[in-house]
Structure 1
Amino acid sequence: MCRWLAYSGEPLKPAVLILDAQHSLVAQSLNSPLGVETVNGDGFGFGWYPEGSAAGSVPALFHSIEPAWHDENLRELTNNIASPLFFGHVRAAAGPPIQQTNCHPFRYENWLFMHNGFLDGFSLMKRDLVLAVDESLFPLIHGTTDSEVMFYLAITFGLADDPIGAMAKTVQFIEQTGEAKGVHFPMQGTLALSDGATLWAFRYSTAHRTRSLFHSVEIPALREMYPDAERLQVFGDKAKVVVSEPLNDVPGAFVEVPESTVAILTDDGYSHQPFGTPAD
């Protein structure tokens, strides 16, 4: 469906990952070997927390309906800012129209969210899902994607207080709604979520056959594995990236996030937790 990456660590020029890596996000927009669609040219989005911003700051966004591979504004922007936490997403539209309001990531206050996948049977479930969004949030849904509705459901279900729990409640509600409509496997996807400090990356589908998701090995460990790799000097010790597919072919540089798992990235490193609905 789409490809995405999320970075957390010392401030970094986003172009290092979005443009310059061997299998950068822009390269994946043209050719994603692990993706369902090889080409992801139906727009893109970039969201970032500015360097030096205080906790709870609102992130910045840049969306375009142009293919990422020929957008000069993306090149200019990502080469001239530095950010300690940023999201990048290239889109392969699966039905909703190509328009800026349908480009990921989505933002609410200090939160960023993006999704690779789909809600099967969304047209059947849409009315029930949208009406479950808190009334105060309803006017903020500007696009037509299932992903944006999912994000506002998670906010409704308590994202600010318990991000993992809110996402579990969201998935449970989607699956219960789908079951009532005769949809057997409504949830499919990898999700990225951040409040500007912590990064959560979810891999889950009702059928337990979820889109690919990987994260990098910690930089100090990589330096031990590859002491002569000059490329690693660009990154600080806390640098971490979660990706739809690896950004290079270096053996051991990326590990796959297991099925039905949430990876949690903080300054202290990585941790994994099982993820499913509360009934699991």
Structure 2
Amino acid sequence: MCRWAAYRGEPLYLEELVSSPAHSLIAQSHCATRATTATNGDGFGIAWYGDHPEPGRYRDILPAWSDCNLKSLARQIRSPLFLAHVRAATGGGTRRDNCHPFVHGRWSFMHNGQIGHFDALRRPMEAMLDDGLYGMRQGTTDSELLFLMALQFGLDHDPLGAIGETIAFVERLAGHLGVDVLVRFTAAFSDGHTLYAVRYASDWRAPTLYAAPMGPSGGYCLVSEPLDDDHNAWVEIPDGTAIIVGENGVDVRLFSPGEPAEPARRQRI
């Protein structure tokens, strides 16, 4: 499984998540502690927002620990909202087009998880895309296809609803084709203003997700696993939860595919 980290708040240097912490994302790329695989060496990527509506992005197929440019960029780039990802491939070759985050217009998206029997589902999923979005598909991963389908289902207008409808469609399709329904989905995505995250799995075995305050004033970090050993700082986000990090702080909601995301009465972050 992949590892990722995302931040929204007062501008921070990317190194605060990517390289500086004791258990930074680069450290997780070769020694993850809360994943089924410890090594995430099939590429990496970062997407960050600055003075333009669309995000900047840097991706490569090298392991994050071996790219000499990544630490330098992370030390110099300062952003109020960014996503970073290290990949352990479960499908799709090790190529730049398959590295997260994926971007389209102002949106960025990264994912940790899988779709069961994706080879059987891929063609009818791709058939749901209009010509414009189908032409945007560059890689071969289920993650990129989920992102494009969410755009098809209205990500611009109802982000959580579009993600829910996408997952519900995949689950219905698997049932219709007579294959086991399995979607494991822990993802972060943003339009440059708000940071969203969803943790969900059809078998209640979703990849991990944690949250903690970060930065000088009101910022929050969402990660696959904690960046340090301060256990009191990190809250594990339960399966079946959506997180919205915006100008007014953090909103926690219950998430179920195909249904409106409802406010959650759960532990505060």
Report the TM-score when normalising by structure 1: 0.90
Q: Does residue 124 of the first structure (1) align with residue 116 of the second (2)?
A: no
Map of 2:254 onto structure 1? 274
For residue 137 of structure 1, give the secondary structure of its aligned residue in structure 2.
helix
Q: Distance in 2 between matches of 1:201 and 1:95?
A: 22
Q: Distance in 2 between matches of 1:134 and 1:261?
A: 29
**Percent same amino acid among aligned pairs?**
41
Aligned with 1:183 (options 175, 179, 182):
179
Is the contact made by 2:243 and 2:251 (CA closer than 8 Å) also made in structure 1?
yes
What is the CA RMSD across the aligned residues, in angstroms? 1.2
Map of 1:42 onto structure 2? 42
Q: Distance in 2 between matches of 1:198 and 1:245?
A: 21
Map of 1:111 onto structure 2? 107
Is the contact made by 2:164 and 2:259 (CA closer than 8 Å) also made in structure 1?
no
Q: Does residue 245 of the first structure (1) align with residue 241 of the second (2)?
A: no
Q: Distance in 2 between matches of 1:62 and 1:200?
A: 21
Is the contact made by 2:161 and 2:259 (CA closer than 8 Å) also made in structure 1?
no
Is the contact made by 2:153 and 2:162 (CA closer than 8 Å) also made in structure 1?
yes
Runs of 5+ in structure 2 lacking a partner?
261-269
Q: CA deviation at 1:279?
A: 5.7
Q: CA deviation at 1:133?
A: 1.1
Q: Distance in 1 between matches of 2:44 and 2:180?
A: 30
Q: Distance in 2 between matches of 1:260 and 1:161?
A: 22
Residue identity matched to 1:252:
N
Map of 1:9 onto structure 2? 9
Alignment of 1:86-235 (within 5 A): 86-216=82-212, 218=213, 235=215
Q: Deviations along 1:28-87, whole A, 9 cap, x unmatched?
A: 00111101111000000010002xx25xx0101100000000111101111111011010
For residue 136 of structure 1, give the secondary structure of its aligned residue in structure 2.
helix
Q: Deviations along 1:131-167, whole A, 9 cap, x unmatched?
A: 0012221110000000000000000000000001101
Q: Distance in 2 between matches of 1:49 and 1:279?
A: 30
Residue identity matched to 1:268:
N
Q: Distance in 2 between matches of 1:189 and 1:92?
A: 15
Q: CA deviation at 1:206?
A: 0.8
Residue identity matched to 2:219:
A
Q: Distance in 1 between matches of 2:87 and 2:204?
A: 23
Q: Does residue 255 of the first structure (1) align with residue 235 of the second (2)?
A: yes
Aligned with 1:78 (options 74, 77, 80):
74
For residue 241 of structure 1, give the secondary structure of its aligned residue in structure 2.
strand
Alignment: residue pair count: 260
Q: Distance in 2 between matches of 1:95 and 1:153?
A: 18
For residue 164 of structure 1, give the secondary structure of its aligned residue in structure 2.
helix
